[in-house]
Amino acid sequence: MTGEGFRLDVPSAGVGHDEVAALLTRHLGLALVQDVELRGLTVVEEPHRGSRGAEPAAPLAQRVIDLSHTIDAGMVTYPGLPVPVITPHLTREDSRGKYAEGTEFAMDIITMIGNTGTYLDAPFHRYADGGDLAALDLETLVDLRAEVFHLHDAWTSERRGIGAVTMGDRELAGSAVLLDTGWSRHFGTPAYGRGAPFLTEDGARYLVDAGVALVGIDSLNIDDTESGGHRPAHSILLAAGVHVVEHLTNLAAVPARGARFTAAPPAVRRFGTFPVRAFALVGSGS
């Protein structure tokens, strides 16, 4: 068996030929290997990719990593959709005449489409008879095992799709699969709306067959928005009851394995999308 351009996570920069050979056979699940020849072995520093048999050490202290964009009046999430509008219902000045001296409040109204900031899609978003936000089971949204795929160099402008082959080396059942493409660096700029990476149809089918609970991406859309209106990833995932979270950010800060993921929207009836405060819990308690 011969492979070229293979990347493998290693435990340290000082790893030797024999250790890399052992990690490679373990990662590929090979048995009865007689000899491994490595050519052009180079160690580079980049985010851990979660290679089987080369798990990174768990962080010592527990910490929370915020994976959501901040919502602000006038912000553009998806080009062409309405931007959020924030207006006062009760100003602090007006409230002073309604409460005891020294007591004041502000009450504000936000008008926004559900597809604002970092948001979750429920089946009702795609299917009229699908479950709405109020029907979602919190156990499928909170404290999920996170499997993060760091894919900054796994796609190009000519091949933007992320397919099944990219995710074939892990046990994913019950997990939140998070696709770190690096595209969130363009959020809020015109570049965000063009040429974005996405999950392919075969990738979506693979994740459903693997039994994942949720799929998140830090890109414009989980589907290719330049495909003439086709939305196979949404259709396949939501039909199977797999939650979709779009417009994540800061995924590069989350390790490939070992984190816990939460993204829960409010329980709104007859509504299919809504912003979430998505975050990852990393560390000794995760």
How many helices (H) does the chain have, and how many strands (E)? 4, 13
Based on the fold, state whether residues 135 and 220 are members of the same structural domain: yes
Any domain includes 82: no
The better pLDDT of the pair 154, 231 is held by: 231
Based on the fold, state whether residues 30 and 141 are members of the same structural domain: no
> How many domains does the chain divide into?
2
Beta strand 161-162 with 214-217: parallel, antiparallel or unpaired?
unpaired
Q: Is the pLDDT of residue 239 over 80?
A: yes
Any domain includes 104: no
Any domain includes 255: yes
Any domain includes 207: yes
CATH number (domain holding residue 211): 3.50.30.50
Based on the fold, state whether residues 27 and 145 are members of the same structural domain: no
- The overall average pLDDT reported for the chain is 89
Amino acid at 162: I
Cα distance between residue 84 and residue 89, in whole Å = 16
Based on the fold, state whether residues 121 and 41 are members of the same structural domain: no
Least confidently predicted of 65-69, 74-78, 152-156, 211-215:
152-156
Any domain includes 184: yes
Q: How far is CA 218 from CA 46, 48, 78, 110, 248, in A?
A: 18, 17, 13, 24, 4
Q: How far is CA 171 from CA 35, 212, 280, in A?
A: 27, 9, 19
Any domain includes 77: no
Based on the fold, state whether residues 151 and 266 are members of the same structural domain: yes
Give residue 21's domain range. 1-45
Any domain includes 254: yes
- 260 forms beta bridges with 145, 281
Per residue in 127-164, pLDDT tens?
A: 999 999 999 999 999 999 999 999 998 889 889 999 99
3-state SS, one letter per residue, for 87-102 = EEEECHHHHCCCCCCC
Tokens of 249: 């950010």
Based on the fold, state whether residues 244 and 159 are members of the same structural domain: yes
Based on the fold, state whether residues 153 and 256 are members of the same structural domain: yes
Is 106 within 8 Å of 89 (Cβ atoms)?
no
What backbone phi and psi angles, to 5 degrees, belong to 110? -115, 130
| pLDDT on residue 92 | 97
- 244 forms beta bridges with 121, 215
**pTM, 2 dp:** 0.81
Type and span of the H or E element at 24: helix 17-28
Mean pLDDT within 41-53: 66
Any domain includes 137: yes
Based on the fold, state whether residues 138 and 242 are members of the same structural domain: yes
Is 193 within 8 Å of 165 (Cβ atoms)?
no
The better pLDDT of the pair 24, 109 is held by: 109
Based on the fold, state whether residues 152 and 247 are members of the same structural domain: yes
233: which residues sit within 8 A by CB, 6+ positions away? 198, 199, 200, 201, 203, 204, 222, 223, 244
| pLDDT on residue 61 | 83
Based on the fold, state whether residues 147 and 17 are members of the same structural domain: no
Cα distance between residue 206 and residue 36, in whole Å = 31
Based on the fold, state whether residues 130 and 253 are members of the same structural domain: yes
